[in-house]
Each structure stands twice: as structure tokens, then as C-alpha cells.
Structure 1
Amino acid sequence: MRLKKIKLAGFKSFVEPTTIPFPGEMTAVVGPNGCGKSNVIDAVRWVLGESSAKNLRGDAMTDVIFNGSSNRKPVGQCSVELVFDNTSNRIGGEYAKYNELSVKRLVTRDATSTYFLNGTKCRRRDVTDLFLGTGLGPRSYAIIEQGMISRLIESKPQELRVFIEEAAGISKYKERRRETENRIKHTQDNLERLNDVRDELGKQLEKLQRQAAAATRYKTLRAKTRELKGQLAAIRFLKNSQRIEALQKQQQVIQLEVDGLNARLQGDEAGVESYKTRQVQAKQSIDDLQQQIFTTGNQITRLEQNALHAKQRKVQVESELTRLNEQVSLLHASIEEAETALAISRGSLDKVVPELEIKEAELEQARERLDDGEQSLREFNSKAREQELLFNQLRQSVQQSHGQIQSLMNMQLRTSQRISELNDEREQLKDDDLNEQLEILEAQYEQRQLDIDNAQATCDTLADSLQKITEDVKAVESQLHNVKGDYQATQSAIFALEALQQDAALENNETVTWLSKLWQQLSIPSDLTVAVEAILTNLHSPVIAVKHTTNELIDAYSDLPIGCTVFSNGALTEKPKAQSLANEIVKRYSGAEEKPISFPKMFNDILYCENESDAFRVVSDALNEKQSTVNGFSSVIAKSGLWLSTEWLLKPGETSDGVLQRANKIANLSSTLQGLEAQQEEALCKLDEIGGLKADIEAQQQQALLQLTENNNAALQIKNQISLLTMRVEQNAERYQKLHDEIEKQQTLFNEEEAQITQLSATLELQEAKIEEQQAFIENINSERESQERLCEEAKALVEQLVSKKHELALKCQQLENHQTLHLQQVTRNKKQREEYAENKLRLEEELKQLLAPQERQDAELQILLEQKVELEQARCEKQTELEDIEQWLREAEKGHQALSKIIQEKQTAIDKLNIDIEGFRVRANTVIEQLDDSQQSLKTLLEALPQDADEGKWQEELDSVQASLQRLGAVNLAAVEEFDIQSERKNHLDTQHHDLTEALETLQSAIRKIDKETRSRFSATFEQVNEDLKTLFPKVFGGGSAYLALTDDDLLETGVTIMARPPGKKNSTIHLLSGGEKALTALSLVFAIFRLNPAPFCLLDEVDAPLDDANVGRFCNLVSEMSQTVQFIYITHNKIAMEMASHLTGVTMAEPGVSRMVAVDVDEAVAFAEA
């Protein structure tokens, strides 16, 4: 088996689909640093199942997907496929028939990883299991990456042991042992749970037996109670019926009296109606008169308001005329004043303009003098700034000190405030009233508990109706539990037996693929399995060779498993001998093969007997006759497994561990398992049906539970408050102590801050003294500067005075011009307004004439309306007197009518009361009927069977007596009898399961012991062989010296492995004292020693020659060339010597940044092409 090629697409830097072929036994992968050579090694490890992103030089598994470059976008998935040449059938099992094997892994951006074997989707475990024992794996010794050489030689003993296990091919045994241990653990867990259930069930059965007797007594009393309740209900029904008849007769008499009174009432109502008609007519007349009075009053009011409005308007017009006359006089005076002011403004403007021109000339001369003074001042300012800079530095230091002192004082103030706050909080904790609140809540909690008890009692009453359906559910669940237990126990037994069968199987080996186990070719009847296994067991894993001679078996001797027996085709026969074991098997053979089966000839040489006595008898007869054989047979086998001859005897051992017997038992258990699955499905269906019915009943109970839940929630809330208050009380005590400690801490801090302030104050005094000296020097400079500044200020003041005077004159000119314009506008505006006032005066005089004309006509009309209103008021008073007389008579008539209605109402109330009483007795009678219907009893049957002298009191006393007996029984489990039978059956079933699980556990433990035995044997042999090869290879690599492996413990299952190496001329005490190159050569010696024992299909080496010098590289190359005869090598190197050793060169380039490409060269073809 060898690696043919690798197909990469989107994996790390190999963004383009790339195929890397490996046609030769030695392929070197070369290229510059960072071009992606090591990504080839990562790709192989990734496909073989590596699950750690760190080991693939990434942070997440999606980091293996090409993430883009400066010219390319990221891709969404990546895939790597390894193609193997399997023509040597190194991979066995179902894949042995394939000459080419493909293993592929694909991952997407959402971290979904998928594996494929020959294009078929599979699990990661399938890929791992495929290469178990071959030396291949994501972290096996077949892949040596950068830095792994040093880690290998410095690895811990347990880590180094893993390589020996892989070489020994026992990694599959470890996996199988782990699975078996898991099954043992699950079986033990099941056994513990089963024991708990059996113990609990035993206690329940004792209680159920006592409850069953009470349940029988309870059912008898309940039947008697039902009978008495039915008879008592019938008595009450008769009594209520008689009361209903009496009340109905009394009701009819009162109804006749009510009818007579109603006739009288109708006659009185006719007279009342006539007076009501007259009353309505009188009211209508009064309303009409009132409407006329209202209309007349409105007309009078309107006329009075018109007169008043006219008077008011006359006054307003006269007042407006007076105001207009005054305004016209004022406008005449304003116009004259504006014309006078206009003439004055024109004269002032002519005087100000020449004065303004003179001031502008004076201003120009003053500005020239100011420029000269400012130049001198700038020179003084330059000198002053230099001294002020030094002064500012000193002042900044003082300010900084002041700031520090202020900061410390602020901190001291905050510390003082903090101490005050802590003292206040401590005093507040003393005055807290939490204890009183706690007592109140505890009282509320006790009251709420009483409410919960009452609600619980109500729920318990409702829960009785759910008891029967719950019992049915329990019965079905018990049945389902039993079926599941049987199913699990049967499944565990099958797993255990299959594990033993697998242990008995011979491991595949490509050099002996033509071998197959003899017992796998036989279909042995169950009654002959003990006899056949007695022979096969003593031959230790016998196998049969098909179409091979003894000479061929001798040639393959070195590849045969240790301790097996092999029959050549010359030792086989298809002709059974009479009375032999072979003949007995053929007679009972039930196989499906069309042609006869072949048997070893030795089966024809063994006489078969049905029992041990017959076997002893024929051997004794042969001994008595002094024969060396038994009736022509070399030995005798009994059905029980007894095997003997005239010279020896083999006593049969245990009969439960045979391979053939286990195969038969597995078949029987598989059939049982199918039956249990059908029972489990049926029980689940039934449980769903009962569960639906139970859900309906539980919905009815939910309303009752709601009140209980509310009370529980309220109680829980109060309890939580109590807990919180209790916690607060405790926290207050703890907080009080913390406050005391904090106050002391803050006081210490306050004292420290006080000391720092004192120290900074002393420093500040020194700094302020220096400032005073510098300030005196600056004042001298400033004095001279101030003299020059005064001169400049005087010049500037003169300039400003002249500018101000010029501005005043210019402003005065502008004001005079504005005044002239305003006066002119005012004259025009006042003349226009005088004309408007004249027009308004004429309009108001005309309106005053019109207001004085209609006043006399309105006064006459008002006098007429007042006289009409008086006449209408008199007519309304007469009608009101007539209405009062009618209403007085109506009140007297209605009083008599009400008295008669009251009598009728009293009679009707009596009738209604009788109706209520009748209905009450009728409801009681119907209630009795409903109770009888609920209890499925017939009223007619009860009345017929009821004695004539039946008395309600007597029946009630008898019922109370029976119910008292029921009460004395207390709580009774009505399903106890049936449940007792069910649980007893369940107990027997669980006992059977316990026995089966115990047997299965013993079987699994036996399998563990066999696996451990095989593991010890193989590990020991492999360790010795690797150690010998290491001792041989080390001197060849180093040119001398010695190396060996050692075990750290006597337990071969747990021991670690250490390595000791001593190069020529050195006596180091530990491997860690070697140089880097020596460690690398030692590690390579160990790896190649493992390869010699169990060569992996190929070996990947990533720059393992980097720490070696040229001489050691040459030895390394020679060793690799020698081993390449049996192992395919693929190595990454930068060393020219190592490149020359390769038969094929594969170059990896990165012409495009971030993208790797491959170039392959056949060295032999290249040399031939160059020579040509």
C-alpha cells in the first residue's frame, strides 16, 4: 500500500485545484521558505482526522480554508483527497477488494466537516478505524513535522508508549477495550438501578399486602353505602312530591282572590284617566299663556335695548367730534414747529462742515507721533518678556505647590466627610426596625400556611377522581419498564457475546489473506458444539487454507499468526467416515451451501459417542483387548466434550464460553430482541391512549390547583421576604463591624494627609521668597516701560481725542441731515392727517342727525306691549287655580288605587313565595333523581322495593353507621389488590433481569481479561523487537555508540517507555544532555526502528535534516535510501544532499502572493534528457 497522489482545492495557500503525484518511493518537496510546502503535511494530517486547529497552525478549523490575498477573494470551502494504491490488500475488511482507495475531507465556512471513503459519505471514526494498526493517523510516527523530532525524543514516557502501541497494532485493542469498559459501566449502572428498584419494590409489596385486605373491606362497605344512599334518596323523593302537591292547592286559592281584586282595580282606573285628561288640557293652556308672556317680554326687552344703544351711540359720536376738533388744532401747531426746526437745521449744517476738515488734518500729524512711540515701547516689552518668563516659571511652581496643598486639603475634607458619613451610617444601623417587620411577616406567613392547608384539602378531594386512571398509567408504565429492562439486558448480552466473538477472530494480514477460520466455515448443530469446540479450542484458533499446499504454508511461515494451527488442502476431505465425528456433523448439517463442506481428516479419525459412559466403555474394551486404537479410531469424543484415547484423557471445561455456542446464543437473543421491540411499541401506543384520557381529567383538576398555587406563591413570597429581612439583620451586624474598621482606616488616612500638607507648606514658603526677589527686578524694568507707555498713551489719547472729535463732527453733520429730512417728512405727514380728520368730522355729524329722528316712535310701541303682558298674566293665574283643584282630586283617587294595589301585591308575593317553595321541593326531587342517575340506580326500582313503613331517620342512622365504619378504615388504596399482583409479577421479572445482567457483566469482564492478555503479549513482543532494532540502527547512524529503550513500570498495560542514547565517546546521564543534531538522529533511529517492525504505508518528513551537518545528512540519506525498499518516503528539505537522494522532485512556488503552485520533476527523466 502506498500514497499515489494528493488532491487539494482551497486548502490554505492551495486555492486552485492541485494534484500532487507521488510516483516513486522517494519524493522530495522543495521550495523557498513560506511558499506552502508544510501545507502538504498539514493536508495529510487533516484528512486522516486531525481535530485540533492548533496542530494545523491555526486558531479555528475554518482557518484551513483559503482566506484570500491581495488579488483573490476568500473561498467558501476546501477539500483534500488522498488516493492510495491498495493492490497489496494492506487495508482489509470490506475495502480489501478495492485496488485503489480514496479518503476525502471537506469543510465549509460554517465549520461543517464531511468525510468520504471512495466517494461515500462516512464518519470521522470510520476513517480512523480504517487505518488502525497500519501506523497511519493524524499524530502517528509516520508523520514527522517540523520540531516533532525534538518533541519526540523529549516526550513523556506515556506519550512515547503510544508509538510502540501503534507499531504493535494494539491500538484497535485499546479502542475495543474502551468500548467494552463502557458497556461494563453501563451494565453496572443498570444493575445498580435494578437493585435499587428490587429493594424498593420489596418494601412496597409488604405495604401492598396489608393494603389489599383493607381494600376488600372498603369495597364491601362502599357497596352497602351505595344501596342505603339510593333508598334514602327514594324516601326523600316521596316526601318532596307530597309537599309539592299541598303547596300547589294553597296557591290556587290565593290566585282566585287576586283575580277579584284586579277587577275592582280596573274600574277605579277609568275615573282616574278622565281627570288626567282634564289635567293635561289645563297644563297645555297654562303653557300657551306662558309662551305668549315670554314672547311679549322679549319684544319689550328688544325695544328697551334699542333705545339704550341709541343713547350710548349718541354720546360716542359727540365725544368723537370733540376729540377730532382737538386733534386738528394740535396738527396746526405741529406743522408750524416742524417748518421752524427745518430752517434751523439747514443753518447749523453750513457751520459744521468747515470745522470737520480742520480736525482731519490735526489727526494725521498725531498718528505719526504715535507710531514713533510704539516702536520704542516694543523694545522695552521684549526685555520685560524675558524676565516675566522666568517669573512665570517660578509662579507655576508655586501654583503647583498650592494645587497639591489644595488637593490634599480636598482629600482631607473628603476623608473627614467620609468619617462623618460612616459615623452617621453606623448610628442609623442601631435605629433600624427590621426585627419588628420580621415578626409581622412571620405572623402573615403562619396565616398563609393555614390557607394553603385548606386549599390542599380541597385539591386532595379532587385528586381521588384521578386515582384509577393513574393506576392504569402506572400499570402500563410498569409493563413498559419491564419490556425496556428485558430489551436492555438482552442487548447487553448480545454486545458482550459479540465482543467475545470479535476477540476470537484472527486479525487480517495481507500476507495471509488466504486464511480463514475453520469454525467460521462450519454450521454445527447446537447439540454438537461442545464436542467440536473441545477439539478446536485445544488447537488454539485453528484455520483452514484453501487451495494451498504444505510447501506454500512453509514458505509463508514467518507471516503466520503466533500459536495457530493451519491445515493444508491435502489435510482436508469431503468424505466422512462412518461413526466418526465428521459423519455425525454431516448427518445433522443445516448449512446453505450447495456443495459439501470440507473437514480436516482428523475429524474422520475421532469416534463420536452420545454420552460419557459409552465413551468410557469403548475405551475400556479397547484397553482390555490391548488395542492401541478404539475400534479403528485414534480417539473418542463425547457429546459433553469429554475427549480421550487409550493413552490420554481431556476433561471438558466450562461449556458457556465456546465460539459456536456463543454464535447460537447470539442468534436466539436477536430473535428475542425483535419480540421485545414489538411489545415495547404496543405498550407505548397504549400509554399514549391512557395519557390522553388522563390529560382530560387533569385539566378539570387544574382550576382547583390554581388557588393552591396562588397561596403557595404568596407564602413563598412572604418566606422570601422573611429570608431577606433575616439576611439584612445579619448584614447590618456585619456592616456595623466593617464601618468601625473603615472609620479607623479613614482616621489614619486623615493624619497622613495632614503631615503631607505641613511638608508642602514649608516648601511653598521657600518658593514664594524666590518669587518676591524676581518680582522686584521685574518691577524696575516695568517702571521704565511704563514711562514709555505713558508717552505712547498720551499720543494715543490725542489721536483718540482727535478721532473722537472728528467722529462727533461727522456724526453731527449726519444728524443735521437726518433732522432736515425728518422735519420735511413730518410737515407732509401732518398735512395729510389734517385732511383725514376733516372728512371724519363730516361723517360723524351726519350720523348724529340720524340717531335723533326714530326715538319717539319706539317709546309708543313699548307702552302697548307692557299693557298686553299684564292681561296675559291675569289669565294664567286663573288657569293655575283650576289645575290645582284637578290635581287635588287625582291625589285622593290615586291614594285609594295604591291601597288596592298593595293588597294585590301582598297576595301576589304570597303566590310567588309558594312558587319558590314548590320549585325548591321540585329541585330537591330532581337532585335526588340526578344523584340516582349518577350512581346508575333506577328510582322506579327503588320505590317498588322500598317498604311501606320506610322512615328517613331510621335509614339515615343506618347509613351513618356504615359511613362511620368506612371512616374508621382511614385512607384506603383501592388498587392495592390489583397492584399487589402486578408488582409481584414485576418483582419476579426484575429478579430474572438481575440474573441476566449478572451473567452479561461476567461475560464482559472475561472479554476484558482476554483483551488485556493479548495486549500484554503484543506490547512485550513489539517492545523487544523495536529495542533490538534501535540497538542495531543507532550505531549505523552515529558510527558507534549505543541506545536502548526501558520500561518505567512492571505493568505492561500502564508502563511508560523511556529512551537512553550515548553517542560515541559520551557517557551522558540523560537524553536531554544531547545536542540538537544528536537528538534528531536519535529520534530518527527510533522512528526507523519502528518502521522496520511495522512499516506504515508511507512516511512524511518535514525538514528533519535541518539540524544535521553534511556528514550526518549523508548517513541519514543512506538510511532512508535503504528503507525506501519497503517504505514510501515523502520529505520536505532545503538540503542539496537530500535533494540528490530523491527519485522525484516536487517544487512548490508562490509566484502570485499568497497562492501556492506545484511543479513536479522526474529526476531520472531529467538526467536522461540532459545527457541526450
Structure 2
Amino acid sequence: MRLKKIKLAGFKSFVDPTTIPFPGDMTAIVGPNGCGKSNVIDAVRWVLGESSAKNLRGDAMTDVIFNGSSARKPVGQCSVELVFDNSSGRIGGEFAQYNELAVKRLVTRDAQSLYFLNGTRCRRRDVTDLFLGTGLGPRSYAIIEQGMISRLIESKPQELRVFIEEAAGISKYKERRRETENRIRHTQDNLERLEDVRGELGRQLEKLQRQAAAAQRYKALKASERKLKGELSAIRWLKHTQHIEKIEGELAKEQNELDALIAQQRGDEAGIEKYRTQSEDIKTALDDVQQAVFTISTQITRIEQNTLHSQQRDNQISAELEELHQRRELLAASLQEAEQALEKADMSLEQSEPELLMLEETIFQAEERAESAESALRDYNRKRREQEQHYHSLKQKVQGLHSQIQSVTSMQLRTTQRIGELNDELTALDDDTLSQRLEEAQAEQELAAEKSAIAEDEVIISKDALNVASEQYQTATAAQAGCQRELDQAASRFAALEALQELAEAEAGALPEGVALLWKSINVKPGFEALIEKVTVWLNNPLVAAEYPVETLIASAEHFPQGHRILPLHTDRPPAEGTLASCLNDGYIPSLFYRIRLVADLAAARTLLPALAAGESVVTATGEWLSADWLLRGTVQEDSAGALQRHAQMAQLQSEIDSLSAQLAELQFQADSAAEEKTRAEEHLEITRQAQVRSAQQQQQAAHQVAMLKQEVAQLALRQQKIRDELTRQQQTLAGDDEQLDTLTAQLEVLEMQLMDAEEEEQNASSERERFEHEQQDARQSAEQQKSRKHQLELSVQQQRNQQQLYRDQVTRNQTQLAEYRQREDTLTQEKQSLSQPMAMHEAQLAQLLEDREVQEALRIEKQNALSDIEALLREAQQGHHGVAVKIQQRNTVIDGLKIDIEGARVRAMSVLELLQETGQSLKEILPDLDDTADEKSWQQELEKTTAAVARLGAVNLAAVEEYETQAERKQHLDTQFDDLVSALDTLQSAIRKIDKETKTRFSATFEQVNEDLKQLFPKVFGGGSAYLALTDDDLLETGVTIMARPPGKKNSTIHLLSGGEKALTALSLVFAIFRLNPAPFCLLDEVDAPLDDANVGRFCKLVSEMSKSVQFIYITHNKIAMEMATHLTGVTMAEPGVSRMVAVDVDEAMAFVEA
């Protein structure tokens, strides 16, 4: 596997689409400082998944997008694509079948980052997983950037271990182990939460089981209640239906009488329509006559207008003929003048043309003399230019040497200043302030960690408080919901009873003042409602009249509704014991109730019968009413039956509603209090969380500050080393400038002598050049004078020719216009003659049209008279039709009244059906099974018993059965989940053990092999000495790795005592030792040879050349020796400021071309 090419577009300084090929095993990227070479390394690291902007030398990930230059605008996105040759199948898995593999990354200005594998969009993790174990990655040992060599050798043991792990190919195992540990942690958290949920769910199931039994009993009673309500509604619907059939018979009779009137009305309408048709026919004929009169009048008007127009046109033609005659005479005079002027112009032109020919010959001779003088002057000037060029060349060389001497002097001055600045900066960098700041930042980091731990404990306490408040809130809301359901049920029952009472009151009709229904006027003692209800039913819905004497009732009998018993009331007479009046409380008591005795049963009634006075009767508690002459037993079917019982039930329900409303208000207050407590707990939890986040942020900031200070310390050391290196280079540059200044001064003295000789030749040549210029000027002035005279004569001739052509055009134009005037006079004369004939014809047509108009006017008057007669007959027929319509309206009123009665009965029947629909039943289901002897009263009593049984159950959780089944199923599901999680936890722990075992084995073998290769490579690179790797701990999973190196002749106790070049060679030895074991597809080196001298660069190049047989090397260098080693040179230039471009050269092909 090898890297074939890199495609860049908009990445950093590579704004234009650029392709960098890598055809050889060793490719060197060269170019001046700041041209963008290191951007190639950044591009590779970026595509491989680098997510830190700092490691890409930026502040944000969008900094990799070209940000514009002095001549270009910023771009909106950038992309980099790496194309690999995978013909060897190094990349396995699903991509092993591809010989070429393309990995691409694209980022936009809104920080959206996209990855692609062979053109297919993928995740960043897919890219990192693809190269796991190959040695490639954003921070692997295969990419060595500037300064990384020294950082590598000075890495901490744990950081150095990462390179060994990558070489061992166990990075993918570590990634899997990390994922497995996360899964174990999540699984353990899920087990804890699941155990809590299972315990709570078990306690809920015990409570729900008890509630479910009560709910089943409640549902059975409600089903029975629903059936009774449906049958009771069906009984009432049958009664209303029979009433509707009776009224529909009366409606049919009235409809027949209405149909007869409508037939008579339609006969009248036929006569009216006949008169209307005749009227319309006459109107149509009258319109035709009027249209004819209008047409004739229009024709008369048009003929009169045509006659007037012809007379006006004749006058216009006469005036125009007179004007044309005058214009023709003027035009003839103008034509004669133009012909005379044309003859004069022809004569003047014949005299000027011969003089022009003679002047042209004179000009030709003068130009030949001027040409000869100019030729001599050009020859002289050519010689002078050669002398001047030599003079200026010498002068420029002298000036150039002066500039170079000045530039070298300036460079010496700048170099001297730079040496002083570097010495000052080096002195300033020797400061211990940064180390003190680092110690203070580390102390702050430890303090922030302690605060973060305290904040985490407070969050846990707040979560517990919130859980308690949530449970209290749920309990309060559940109790509130139960109370609300009871209140809604009571209110529904009260509304239903109230509707039945209003219906019973409406059926009684309008009552006179002072008269009311009995059940509304009396106050029955508890327990006697059913007995009083039966008596009132037997009395046929009695009405009561407050304190009216019987004589007054008889006198006002016609004002009371028919079919009802009227009972006067007493208010001053106390209830008598042993009578029906004793069943009522003080207040209004019907006088009849004092004459009705009350006994326990029928046997007691028989005993009391002989002692009854006239007009008295006896009623039993079981519902029999009898006297000496009659006996009533059973029930009577009436709409008002049950009104007293409903009235008592409504009073009881109102008391329950008031109690439940108070209870609901109290529960609402408790729920609101619980909600407030929950809200306060949530707010406190949010505050503690925010405090935790702030503590974590402070801890992170402190850690970041420590890391930044450590980086500053490292950068300070690096900066000191760079200053020392630059100081050496500046001193070398200053010595070279002194030698160059001496050489330039000697060259200047020779050139100044040659310049003095050339100035003397320049002064001698001035007089000869003036003579040649005077001769050339005289000849040229003579030729110019002759040309000027010729030009004036040519202008005169041209003016004469133009005037001649002007006169010719005027003659032609006058002749043409004169012909047009003559033709126009002929046309007008003919038109004047043609106008005299139509005028006589128009006068004859006008007389005929006037006669036709008088005939049509007489016919119009006749049609108008006939129309008046027909309209009088039509009005008489319409009056008769109106009388029939009044009778029809009267019948419709009667019919509408009957329909209203039917509609009222239907509405009552529909209200019964609506109540039936509310129970979810229909008549089709009830009527077939309804008993023929069913009566409303018996069914009402049975319904009340069932309703009472339901009420005795109290508050019932109807959802308990379904909720119990749901929670039981959930409990079973949670138990299964618990078992699955326990099994999964065992599996994950087993996987951890296997991963650890494999990691230890691979790490141990890799460490030994890399250590062995390092021991072999180090002496080759240094020409002697020794180096080896050591473990910091016995635990192979956590141990760090250190490197010990001793160059030839030295006994260093630590790696930090090595020089910069020695550190670089040691790090390269380690990297190449890793490459021997697990060579990555390619290796990128960014100026790693910078700290090496020529001898060590040679050793480095030799080692790279040997390893290039198995590894592809791409390196950035400024060293000529390293450039010579490459098989392919790729140059990076920046001819345009801020924009990098590529120049590639194949060294082998170039050498072959030179040799040829």
C-alpha cells in the first residue's frame, strides 16, 4: 500500500485545485520558507481525522480554509483527498477488493465537516477505524513534523507507549476495550435503575390488584345499569312514537284539503300565463315596429349627412386647385435659376484641374531631396546609438556596483543590529517567572478538582430531593384526579335528574299564577318518597293551589289544564299522626293528605276500614290504597312518575357535590404545594448542576492553563535554541559580507576609468550631428510648403465639384416636384366631377324614406292599444289567484302547527334516543328482547336500586384492571431485561479479559522487537554507542516506556542531556526501529534534518534510502544532501503572495535527459 497522490482545493494556501503526485519511493518537497510546504503535512493529518485546530497551527477548524490574500477573496470551503494504491490488499475488510482507495475530507465556513471513502459519505470514526493497526493516524509515528523529533524523544513514558502500541497494532484493541468499559459502566447504571424500577413496580402491583377487583364489580353493576337505562329509554320512545302517529293522521287530512286549493291555484295560473303570453307577443310586435321606425330614421339621418359632406368636399377641392397653380409657377422660376448656376460651376472647374497636376510634380522632386538627407542622418544616428549604448552600459554597471556596495553595507548594519537583538532576547528569556506561574497554576488545578467533587455530591443530593418531591406530586395529583372523577360522576347524575325534572315540568304545560306541581310544593320526609310518589301517580299528576278555597278553584276551573287533579294546600295546620300528612315536614300540606290514613300493611288496612269516616281512605307502606268502595294496587304509567324521588336524589347529590368540591379544592391546594416543592427541587437541582458545570469548567480551564504554561516552557527552551542557532548564522553572514564588499570595490575602480573615456567620445560627436540635422530640416520644410499649397488647391477643386453636384441635384428635385404638382391637379379635377352625380340620387332616397316612416308610426299606435286591453284582463286574473293563495296560506299555518306538534314529539323521542346513544345502545338491540308487559315505573325502580349499589362502592379506579395487566406485563418485561443485562455484563467482562490478554501478548512481543531493532540501528546512525528501551512498571497494560541513549564516548545519565542533533538522531532511530517492525504505508518527515550537520545528514540519508525499499518516504527539506537522495522533487512556490503552487521534477528522468 502506498500514497499515490494528494488532491487539495482551498486548503490553507493551496486555493486552486492542486494535485501532488508521489510516483517514487522517496519524494522530497522543497521550496523557500513560508511557501506552504508544511501545509502538505497538515493536509494529510487533517484528512486522517485530526480534530484539534492547535495541531494544525490554527485557532479554529475553519482556519484551514483559504482566508484570502491581497489579490484574492476568501473561499467558502476546502477539501483534501488522499488516493492510495491498495493493490497489495494492506487495507482489509470490505475495502480489500479495491485496488485504489480514496479518502476525502471537506469542511465549510459553518464548520460542517464531511468525510468520504471512495466517494461515499462516511463518519470520522470509519476513517480512523480503516487505518487502525496500519501505523497511520492523525498523531501516529508515521507523521513527524517540525519540532516533533525533540518532543518525541522527550515524551513522557505513557506518551512514548502510544507509539509502541500503534506499532503492535493494539490501538484497535484499546479502542474496543474503551468501548467495552463504557458499555459495562452503562450496563451497571442500567442495572441499578432497573432494580429500583422493579421494586417500585412490585409495590404498585399489590395496590392495583385490590383496585382491579373493585373495578370489575363496578363494571358489572354499570353494565346492568346501562341495560336498564336503555330499556327505560325504549319504553319512553314507544310512547312518543304512538303520539306521533296520531298527529300524522290529522296532518294527512289537512294536506288533502291543501292539495285541492293548490289545484285550483294552478288552474288560475294557466289563465294568467295565457294572458302573459299574448301580452309578450304584442310587445314583441310593438318592438319590431319601433325598430323599423328607428332604422328608417337612421337612414334618413345618414343620407342628410352624406349630402352635407359632398358639398364640403367640393369646396375643399376648389381651394386646393388654386393653391397648386400658384406653387407650380414659383417652382418653374426656381428651376431656371438653378440651371444657370450649374453652367457657371462647370466653367470654373475646367480652369483649376491643370494647375493641380503641375503642383504634384514639384512636390515629388522636393520629397526626393528630403529622403536623401534623412538617409545620411540615420546612418550617423546608428553609429551614435552604438556609442551611447556602450556609455550607458558602463554607467549602469557603475551604478549597480554602487547599489551592491550600499546593499552589502546595509546588510552588515542589519546583521550587526540583529546580533545585538538576539543577544538581548537571549538574556531576557533567562527568567524564572514562567516556572513560578506553572507551579501556581498546578495548585489552582488541584483546588478546582476538589470544588468539582463537592459540586458533584451536591448534585446527587439535589437529585434525591427531586425524586422525593416528584413522588409527593404524583400522589397528590392522583388523589386530585380521583376526586375530580367522583365530582364529575355526581354532576353528571345531577344533570340527568335535573333534565328529567325539567321534562316533567314542561309536559305539565303552562300553569296559572299561584298553582304549581305537587312535587315542587311539598317537603317529604326521608324514606317516604316512594309512597308519596305512588299516591301522586294515582291522583293523575295533581296540581296544588296555595291556600285557595275549593269555591275559588271551581270558579277558576277553566283556567287549569285538563286531566289533572287540583289540590288546595294548608300552611297553618300541623301534620296529623297516622295520616299521609305525617310523611311531610311542616309547610305546604295538601288537605287531601289529612283524610288518607297510613298503616303498615294490607291486614292493618282491613282492620281500619270499618272505622273510616266518609271521604277517608287508607294507604299501606307497601303501596296499596283502598277505601270502603275501592282498592288501588300496582303502578300507573305516567311521565311524572318518579319526580319526588328524583327531587330527593337531587338534594342528596347536591350535598355530595358541595362536599366533593370542598375536598377537591383541598386536594388542589395540596397538588399545587407539591408542584411548587417539585419546582423548587428542580430549580435547586439546576442551580447545583450549573455550579457543577462551572466547577468542571474551572477545573478544565485550570488544566488548560497548566498545559498552556507547560507548552510555553517548552516553547521558551525551543526559542532559546533557535536564537543561538540564528546567532551563529548571523555571525557567519557578517564575515561573508566583508569579503564581498572588498571584491565589489575593486571592480568599481576599473569601470569608472572606462566610463571617463566614453564621456570624451560623446563630446566630440556633437558638432557633426548638428550639420546633418540642418540639411535634413531644410529639405523637409521645402517639401512641406509645396504640399500645403497643393492641399489648398485640392480643397478649392473639391469645393467647386460639390457646388456643381448641388446645383444638379436642385435641378432634378425641381423637375420632379413640378411633375407631382401637375399630377395632383388632374386627380382633384376628376374627383370634383365625380361628386355631382351622388347628390341627386340622395335627394330621391330621402323622399321615399320619409313616406315609409309615416306608415310605421301608424302601425305602432295600433299595437300599443291592443297591449293595454290584454294587460287589463291579466290584472283581473291575478286578483282571483291572490284570493286562493290566502286560503292556501291559512291551511299551511294549520299544517305547520301540526308539524310543530309532531316535531316536538319527535324531539322528545330524539332526546330519549340521545340518552340511549350516550349509553352506547340502539333500539334495534333493545326492542326485540324487551318484555311486552314492561312498564316505566318498574324499570325506574330497578334502575334506582342498581344506581344505589354503584354509589355504595364509592370511588373506583376503573383503569386499575387494564393498568394492572399493563404493569404486570411491564414487570415481566423488566425481569427479562434484568436477566439479559446480567448476562451481557458477564459477556463484556469476559471480553475485557480477552482483550487484556491479547494486548499484553502483542505489546510484550512488539516491545522486545522494537528494542532489539533500536539496539541495532543506533550504532549505525551514530557510528557507535548504544541505546535501549525500558519499562517503567511490571503491569504491561499500564506501564510506560522510556529510552536510554549513550552516543559514542559519552556517559549521559538522562536523555535530556543530549544535544539537539543527538536527540534528533536518537528519535529517528526509534521511529525507524518501529517502522522495521510494522512499517506504515508511508512516512512523512518535515525538516527533521534541520538540527543535523552534513555528516549526520549523510547517515540519515543512507538510513532512509535503505528503508525506502519497504516504506514510501515523503520529506520536506532545505538540505542539498537530502535533496540529492530523492528520486522525485516536488517544489512549492509562492509567486503570487499567499497562494502556493506545485512544480514537480522526476530526478531519474532529468538525469537521463542530461546524459542524452
- TM class by smaller structure: 0.3 to 0.5
| TM-score, normalising length: structure 1 | 0.40
